[in-house]
Structure 1
């Protein structure tokens, strides 16, 4: 390998190291890109109504800020109060389950009971963890100065990308060789379409699941129905893992009143997930990039491992963008055009 090739390899490795060190900042930048791409839908809609782009951007940002302020000032305090109540009710639900299990185990064979794990010891070990996660985690998160600064930086980046996206787009394109820049511009357009399709689909699912969960929990008379419905809608952003987590809290609370309500909550959430899988997903998937379930699950594990909770939350849009790049660059531009020598020279005999 020549000296210049070694220098290039060293520079490449150093670049990878720098990118790894600033991975959280890059993830924040990607979040800003997703939000800017989402707001651009409103901007284009306002422009069709005759507004100038500057006015449309200002109105879109105003709607975003109004939504955020309304959420933090109206919805979040009541939700936080309910969440604190939830932190008190979940251990009660576990105690109820423990009592119910004791009642059930007393009717079993004593030899079979000895082979079962000690549920009391297990619940005693889990209760402090639940209290810490539900009680202290929220207050620490919202009192963190770093979270506030990250939010301000996110809004600033979103506004910059939305106000004048062309220089940033052109700068990214110029990182590629000149013969490939037109192709990169086309791929970026496909990424924009895929992200917008994902956003429209996921917001539609969130609204429907939140509404169905709220109606079902109110009919069953489950306490903290609003908090449970909002949690179910929020966890819709995390496929595979989210639906499983969303059903645990209402089932635990339902045990306080009656065991059958816990089973009814489980049936309710299974029914809602069936509606999403068989009715909502086929409708919105026409606007999205189709993702295999195994690929989605592996992407969640990968991004959560390297980027934490924000990586888990953004695993789906990151996977959507990654799939577009893999399909367009690796498959279409490399593998589909890769011919072996026997294909290039049909007169060459095949090896025996």
Structure 2
């Protein structure tokens, strides 16, 4: 390589090292970007009704603060109260499940009992992994500022990105050579459009899961239906793993109620999942996702494992939007602009 190419390569390696060192801050910025993207959907919808952007921004920000205040005033207190009971009931339900499996095992093979872990052994094996993921994901919040001030910083970044995104966008584009900046701008447009479509779909998933699970758990008489429905809706944000994790608390609690209720919960969540998938194919995918997002389940699962190991819990939570953005950049910048034009002289 020529001297200029060596300099460019060295600067690239140095830039990657800097990005790695501040990866938690970048993740915080990406979280604010996702929140701003979600609020911008509401801004655009209000503008379709003839409102100016400034008016739409004020209404959207007012809606955000009203939601936060309403959540702390109406939703969070009963949710916290039910979560405290949930934390007590779920371990008891899991212990009951292990006991039931042991009873079934004695009917087939008594030696099978020795292979089944006890509840304490199960928790002991999972605890290091849970602590590792949680600590990596929440390190950014436990700075000298404290968790509350960090959340305020996240909210402030979100509002600044929402109010005037152009300077931040132009600043990012200027990191690239002048001949490639127009191309970067087009790639950013693709990322913005794809994330917007995905956010609309995932928010619809979360609302459907919350409402249907709440109604179903109330019908079956499962305790703490409200908190479990909210938890199920929130976990739906995580594809593949989220719906599975959402089933664990209601099944564990149903084991303490009646023998038929765990099966009822499994059938309920299976029906909800199938309903969401059918709505995806017939309504959401056709009307919202005009350009189909190719997210193969196997690759999505690998992406979740990768980002969770890299960033912890926040990486798992944001794995899909991170994967979507990475997929677009790899396809456009690496494959189309470099590999497709690579010729051996």
Change (3 A) 1:177 1:254: same
Per-residue CA deviation, residues 57-92 of structure 1 (Å, 9 max, x unaligned), is 122111111112211222112111111101121233
Q: Is the 8 A contact 1:91 1:127 kept in 2?
A: no
**Does residue 113 of structure 1 match 2:117?**
no
Cross-structure match for 1:231: 231
Counterpart CA distance in 2 for 1:39 and 1:211 is: 22
Gap regions ≥5 residues in structure 1: 342-352
Task: Please give the secondary structure, in 1, of the residue aligned with 2:176.
Answer: coil
Counterpart CA distance in 2 for 1:62 and 1:73 is: 16
Task: Please give the secondary structure, in 2, of the residue aligned with 1:257.
Answer: coil
Counterpart CA distance in 1 for 2:73 and 2:124 is: 30
**Distance apart, 1:284 and its partner CA:** 2.2
The 5-angstrom pairing of residues 201-240 of structure 1 reads 201-240=201-240
**Distance apart, 1:3 and its partner CA:** 6.1
**Distance apart, 1:191 and its partner CA:** 1.0
TM-score scaled by structure 1?
Answer: 0.84
Cross-structure match for 2:54: 54
Counterpart CA distance in 2 for 1:319 and 1:130 is: 26
**Distance apart, 1:126 and its partner CA:** 4.3
Change (3 A) 1:307 1:323: same
TM-score scaled by structure 2?
Answer: 0.86
Counterpart CA distance in 2 for 1:234 and 1:166 is: 31
Counterpart CA distance in 2 for 1:335 and 1:5 is: 18
**Does residue 310 of structure 1 match 2:302?**
no
**Distance apart, 1:330 and its partner CA:** 2.4
Counterpart CA distance in 1 for 2:226 and 2:188 is: 39
Cross-structure match for 1:251: 251
Counterpart CA distance in 2 for 1:97 and 1:33 is: 42
**Distance apart, 1:198 and its partner CA:** 0.6
Query: Bigger radius of gyration, 1 or 2?
Result: 1
The 5-angstrom pairing of residues 197-346 of structure 1 reads 197-286=197-286, 287-288=288-289, 289-339=293-343
Counterpart CA distance in 1 for 2:101 and 2:299 is: 38
Counterpart CA distance in 2 for 1:13 and 1:167 is: 26
Q: Is the 8 A contact 1:187 1:324 kept in 2?
A: yes
Q: Is the 8 A contact 2:223 2:253 kept in 1?
A: yes
Change (3 A) 1:126 1:78: farther
Change (3 A) 1:292 1:118: closer
**Distance apart, 1:129 and its partner CA:** 9.0
The 5-angstrom pairing of residues 122-161 of structure 1 reads 122-126=118-122, 146-161=146-161
Change (3 A) 1:46 1:298: same
The 5-angstrom pairing of residues 22-37 of structure 1 reads 22-37=22-37
Q: Is the 8 A contact 1:87 1:130 kept in 2?
A: no
Q: Is the 8 A contact 2:98 2:118 kept in 1?
A: no
Task: Please give the secondary structure, in 1, of the residue aligned with 2:114.
Answer: coil
Per-residue CA deviation, residues 222-263 of structure 1 (Å, 9 max, x unaligned), is 111111111111111111111111111111101111122112
Counterpart CA distance in 1 for 2:45 and 2:215 is: 32
Cross-structure match for 1:16: 16
Q: What's the Cα RMSD here? A: 2.8
Counterpart CA distance in 1 for 2:31 and 2:3 is: 40
Cross-structure match for 1:80: 80
Counterpart CA distance in 1 for 2:94 and 2:81 is: 21
Counterpart CA distance in 1 for 2:154 and 2:179 is: 34
**Distance apart, 1:290 and its partner CA:** 2.5
Counterpart CA distance in 2 for 1:218 and 1:67 is: 25
